[in-house]
Amino acid sequence: MLSEKHNDSSRNPLLMQAARRLIEQRQTEEAHDPVMLARRAGFEPDAWQQDILRSSARQTIMLVTRQGGKSTVSSIRALHKAEYAPGSLILLLAPSYRQSKELFRKVKDAYAALPSPSPLASESALEMEFGNGSRIVALPGKEETIRGFSGVALLIVDEAARVSDALYQSVRPMLAVSGGQIILLSTPFGKRGFFHHEWTEGGALWHRTKVTAHDCPRIPPDWLEQERKQIGEWWYRQEYLCEFVETVDQVFRYDDIMRALDADVQPLFGSHS
């Protein structure tokens, strides 16, 4: 009897119309608020993650502890762009195939957790194509694998501190014409490379977020203390305190080198013009 009543109700035009209106209302609200998409996927974002999800900045850089949730929030950003910006190309870039595949897996997990996701046109080990024409593609950090892409709406670079400067410079032009967004996420890896430069000297156009292990309620303090003893101070300060530490093989400190530079001194070699 209950099932018959349910079936009769499901065929009721008024009820079906009301249900469609609720879905349309939810979609309209969710299109303007990625936090709603995260919650629909069963993920309750921290305050800093909500800020990242709602940011409209073209350039975002996250300096976030290990296990802090930077990859998870980035995967939600990618999924939201694909769902609500038809025809978007979203690239997931990482130093290695394994790392890019892991970030892509987080996107797929979030998509699978949605009660009623948009249908996919196709899916493979490293690509999702949506029915609305959007694509999410995962790429290993090799220049030859990314040169064929253009019109990128969102570029996410995971473990950015370990991506080469040459690769970073080769992917930035992808955003020039499209006006796309870029998200860099990483822990530090010495005072070197583009990630350190963009964080310290990249200017006001970057939306910067720093989260240490002490800011993450999911990481127990006693576990951190044990980890500090296990991996040593140099690694701990970078991986969990998000500090740019001098590399172990560095002869001169980065700050000393920067203080020694003088724009008024002419170079001994090269052009003096």
Residue 48 has pLDDT above 50, yes or no: yes
- Looking at the chain, the whole-number percentage of residues with pLDDT higher than 70 is 85
The secondary structure of residue 25, as a DSSP letter, is H
Confidence of residue 266 (pLDDT cuts 50, 70, 90): low
Grouping H, G, I as helix, E, B as strand and the rest as coil, residue 159 is coil
Residue keyed to tokens 């009660």: 115
pLDDT digits over 154-206, tens only?
Answer: 999 999 999 999 999 989 998 988 999 999 999 999 999 999 999 999 999 99
Q: What is the pLDDT of residues 128-144, one digit of tens each?
A: 999 999 999 999 877 77
Enter the CATH code of domain 23-260. 3.40.50.300
Report d(CA 129, CA 124) in Å as an integer.
9
Q: What is 25-62 written as a DSSP string?
A: HHHHHHHH-HHHHHHHTT----HHHHHHHH---SEEEE
pLDDT of residue 140: 82
Domain boundaries, the chain: 23-260
- Asked if residues 92 and 103 have their Cβ atoms less than 8 Å apart, the reply is yes
> What pLDDT is stored for residue 268 in this prediction?
46
Nearest-angstrom CA–CA distance, 143 and 166: 8
pLDDT for the residue 14 = 74
Q: What is the pLDDT at residue 10?
A: 58
The count of other CB atoms within 10 Å of the CB of residue 127 is 14
pLDDT value of position 264: 56
- pLDDT value at position 271? 46
Arithmetic mean of pLDDT, 114-126:
93
- The residue ranking higher by pLDDT, 118 or 46, is 46
Better-scored residue on pLDDT, 177 or 112 = 112
- Using the predicted structure, report yes or no on whether residue 147 has a pLDDT greater than 80: no
Q: Helix, strand or coil for residue 151?
A: coil
Does the pLDDT at position 36 exceed 90?
yes
User: How many other CB atoms are there within 10 angstroms of residue 99's CB atom?
Assistant: 20
The CA distance from 142 to 137, in Å, is: 14
Local confidence band at 210 (pLDDT 50, 70, 90 cut-offs): very high
**Orientation angle between helical segments 70-84 and 47-54, nearest 10 degrees:** 30
Interval 232-263: pLDDT, tens: 999 999 999 999 998 654 434 444 434 444 45
User: What's the pLDDT score for residue 26?
Assistant: 75
pLDDT tier, 120 (very low <50, low <70, confident <90, very high otherwise): very high
How do residues 57-105 score in pLDDT, each as one tens digit?
999 999 999 999 999 999 999 999 999 999 999 999 999 989 999 999 9
pLDDT in tens, 59-69: 999 999 999 99
Type and span of the H or E element at 35: helix 34-40
Pairing of strands 206-211, 59-64: parallel
Distance, in Å, from the CA atom of 110 to the CA atom of 113, rounded to the nearest integer, reads 5
